[in-house]
Every structure is written in structure tokens, then in C-alpha cells.
């Protein structure tokens, strides 16, 4: 009891006026919720972490579920002393920006999940943020589960859903760990479906410009100008890389939770982890396929740009060849020699102009037939 009072004073100091009655310490700003669950049912009132730990360990029944949001080092150190958390895991939970992982200690599991959220946007641009990531760290002990959240990924709805299923929640802290893993992977699936729509939009924009169009005489010619979508495709690849970093490393932790017996994981709950691992495998396959598809789209867009540049060069070359005819004739007659054909003929000038126009027309027609103009 003396240790608990010391922790209260260290974690949440309270100022009071001289002579005023002592008030209970104000809850930590990082604490979102704290409750005791017995037989899968929540206690009737909200408790402080110290009260919850004392209640569970004095009776030996139930477990504590403590939810924290972006705690600082001072706040989490007090919680760590109260629950006996490993210092290395506590350091990771404070500083965040961890990759998904599972670490096992003597009497505790520490799991890191990367949460993802699709960022809605009216139009995809080369600077659009598509995927936003956060983190949820989970400490699992014999009589407690502590969730530490950084960024988005609220667990309030998850808690309410679990509380509506006392039979599952009665399995203990491992049931909460499974629910968090399941919701995280379900969010991955929702994000990949939304990213699929963005990829379809970019793919249509790139290849719609490349559709062939009918030329003279029914000939099929190259499509219109290529769309300038390389920036959008590259931005999608960057956002997809962020999604890949969140999903791919989670495969190993889920494999361990679903295949290796662990003292802190209920055997019935372990079977549920296999289903989560299957869903994650589907996500990782989709992300890899998306990355390959975007690479192909980017290469196709660059190829379109190259083709358009070649078409421009053909047009420039064709017109240069046409204008070379009058330039050549004018150059010949501009040499000012005394004896040149038809210099003294009255109709020489209009005949030469006519010959130039006919020659230019024939060359232009030939280029048009070959698709150069």
C-alpha cells in the first residue's frame, strides 16, 4: 500500500490550499480509460490504475484494461512501476515509431501494431496524402492489458464491442490482444480497397490517353497527348510503401501468436490468431500486386511520353522536308548566274511557283499517308 501511495504522489502531484481537505489525485492526462473485468464483465465504476491493480491482485480475479494515449516518459514510468513492465518495452512505447513486432518477457508480452487510415481526398495529386499511419502498443500480463496509442486508431468502439461479448472477454487479456490485431488487419483491408480505387483512376487516366484514334483512310493512329500522371503514380508508390512497412513486418508476430503455445495466450484465442494471419497474408499479397501494377503504369506513362516525343520529331522532320523544297529552289535561283533556265521567259516565275506548290503538296500527301502528319 505504501508503494501505491508513493506512485500516486510521483505520477500525479496535487496542489491544495492550506487547510483544505485532501482530494483524490486527478487522473493522468494520458489515461483514456481504466476498468476491471471479471468473468468478461466490466466493473460498475471507472477506477484509477492504482485502485484497479489493488482490486485485482487482492482478490486474484479478473484483469485490468488500461488505455493510454501518447503518454510521456514520466507518466508511463509510473505505470511501468505499478504493473512491473519491462524497461525496454516501456522505452519503445514512449518514443513510438516502432516497426510491428512481438517481444516476450518472463511474465509479459509486448506487441506493436501499425494502424493505418485512408485519407479522403477529392482529387489525387502528386502531393496527396493517401495513407496515414499510427501505432498501438499492447502490454499483456497475467492480470492486465495496457494499450498505448500514438496517432489515430481509437479503441473505444473495440472496447464496447468486446464488452458486448462477455464469453470472449472472459478468456482474459489475450482476448483483447486478438481483438486489437483483428481490427488492425481489418483496417488494412479497408485501406487496400480504397487504394485500389485510386490505382484504377490513375490507370484509366494513363491508358485512356493512349487509345488509338482513326486517321485518314481508316488508318489507326496513336492516341492523344500522354497524361502527365507520373507524379501521381510516384506519390501512390510512396504511400503504398508506407502501407507495406505497416503490414509486412506483422506477419512474423502473428505467426508466433498463432503457432507457438504461450502461457499468456489462451489456447482457444490462439486459433483466432490464425484467421487474422490469413487476412494479413491477403493484404500483403494485394500490396505487392499494387506495387508491381504501379511500376507497370509508371513505365507505360514514360513510354507514352517517349512515343509522343518521337511523334513530335516526325512532324517537325516532315515540315522541315516540305519547306526544304522552296528553300532549295529559291537558293538555286538566288545564285544570280547569267545563263539560267527560263530567266528570260515571261511565264517562268509563275511556273516555278506552281512547281514548288505541287512538289510541296505531293510531299505533304506522302507524309500524311504514312502517318507522319
CATH tag, 310-369: 1.20.58.340
Weakest-pLDDT range from 8-22, 56-70, 156-170, 211-225 = 8-22
Three-class HEC string of the chain: CHHHHHHHHHHCCCCCCCCCCCCCCCCCCCEEEEEEEECCEECCCCCCHHHHHHHHHHHCCCEEEEEEECCCHHHHHHHHHHHCCCHHHHHHHHHCCCCCEEEEECCEEEEEEEEEEECCCCCCCCCCCCEEEEEEEEEECCCEEEEEEECCCCCHHHHHHHHCCHHHHCCCHHHHHHHHHHHHHHHHHHHHHHHHHHHHHHHHHHHHCCCCEECHHHCEECCCCCCCCHHHHHHHHHHHHHHHHHHHHHHHHHHHHHHCCCCCCCHHHHHHHHHHHHHHHHHHHHHHHHHHHHHHHHHHHHHHHHHHHHHHHHHHHHHHHHHHHHHHHHHHHCCCCCCCCCCCCCCHHHHHHHHHHHHHHHHHHHHHHCCCC
pLDDT, one tens digit per residue, over 190-226 is: 999 999 999 888 888 887 765 555 544 444 454 555 5
Mean pLDDT of the chain: 81
pLDDT-based confidence at 15, cuts 50/70/90?
very low
Domain boundaries, the chain: 310-369
Lowest mean pLDDT, pick from 81-95, 165-179, 317-331: 317-331
Identify the band that residue 18 occupies on the pLDDT scale cut at 50, 70 and 90.
Answer: very low
Tens digits of residue pLDDT in 54-86? 999 988 889 999 999 988 888 888 899 999 998
Amino acid at each position: 500500500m505504501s508503494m501505491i501511495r508513493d506512485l500516486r504522489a510521483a505520477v500525479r502531484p496535487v496542489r491544495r490550499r492550506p487547510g483544505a481537505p485532501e482530494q483524490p489525485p486527478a487522473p493522468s492526462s494520458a489515461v483514456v480509460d481504466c476498468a476491471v473485468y471479471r468473468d468478461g464483465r466490466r466493473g460498475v465504476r471507472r477506477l484509477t490504475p492504482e485502485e484497479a491493480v489493488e482490486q485485482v491482485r487482492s482478490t486474484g480475479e479478473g484483469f485490468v484494461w488500461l488505455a493510454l494515449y501518447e503518454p510521456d516518459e514520466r507518466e508511463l514510468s509510473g505505470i511501468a512501476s505499478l504493473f512491473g513492465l519491462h524497461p525496454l518495452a516501456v522505452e519503445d512505447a514512449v518514443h513510438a515509431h516502432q516497426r510491428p513486432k512481438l517481444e516476450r518477457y518472463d511474465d509479459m508480452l509486448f506487441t506493436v501494431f501499425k494502424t493505418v487510415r485512408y485519407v479522403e481526398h477529392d482529387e489525387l495529386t502528386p502531393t496527396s496524402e493517401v495513407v496515414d499511419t499510427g501505432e498501438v502498443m499492447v502490454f499483456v500480463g497475467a492480470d492486465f492489458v495496457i494499450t498505448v496509442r500514438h496517432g489515430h486508431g481509437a479503441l473505444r468502439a473495440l472496447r464496447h464491442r468486446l464488452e458486448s461479448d462477455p464469453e470472449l472477454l472472459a478468456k482474459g487479456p489475450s482476448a483483447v490482444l486478438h481483438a486489437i490485431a483483428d481490427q488492425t488487419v481489418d483496417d488494412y483491408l479497408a485501406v487496400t480497397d480504397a487504394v485500389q480505387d485510386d490505382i484504377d483512376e490513375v490507370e484509366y487516366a494513363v491508358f485512356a490517353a493512349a487509345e488509338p484514334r482513326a486517321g485518314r483512310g481508316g488508318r489507326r493512329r496513336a492516341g492523344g497527348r500522354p497524361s502527365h500522371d507520373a507524379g501521381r503514380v510516384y506519390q501512390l508508390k510512396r504511400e503504398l510503401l508506407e502501407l507495406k512497412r505497416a503490414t509486412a513486418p506483422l506477419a512474423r508476430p502473428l505467426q508466433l501468436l498463432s503457432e507457438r503455445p504461450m502461457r499468456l495466450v489462451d489456447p482457444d484465442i490462439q486459433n483466432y490468431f490464425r484467421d487474422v494471419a490469413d487476412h494479413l497474408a491477403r493484404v500483403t499479397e494485394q500490396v505487392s500486386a499494387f506495387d508491381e501494377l504501379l511500376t507497370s503504369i509508371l513505365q507505360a506513362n514514360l513510354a507514352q511520353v517517349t512515343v509522343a516525343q518521337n511523334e513530335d520529331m516526325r512532324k517537325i522532320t516532315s515540315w522541315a522536308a516540305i519547306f526544304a523544297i522552296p528553300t532549295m529552289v529559291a537558293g538555286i535561283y538566288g545564285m544570280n548566274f547569267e545563263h539560267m533556265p527560263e530567266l528570260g521567259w515571261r511565264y517562268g516565275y509563275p511556273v516555278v511557283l506552281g512547281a514548288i506548290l505541287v512538289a510541296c503538296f505531293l510531299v505533304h500527301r506522302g507524309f500524311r499517308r504514312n502517318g507522319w502528319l
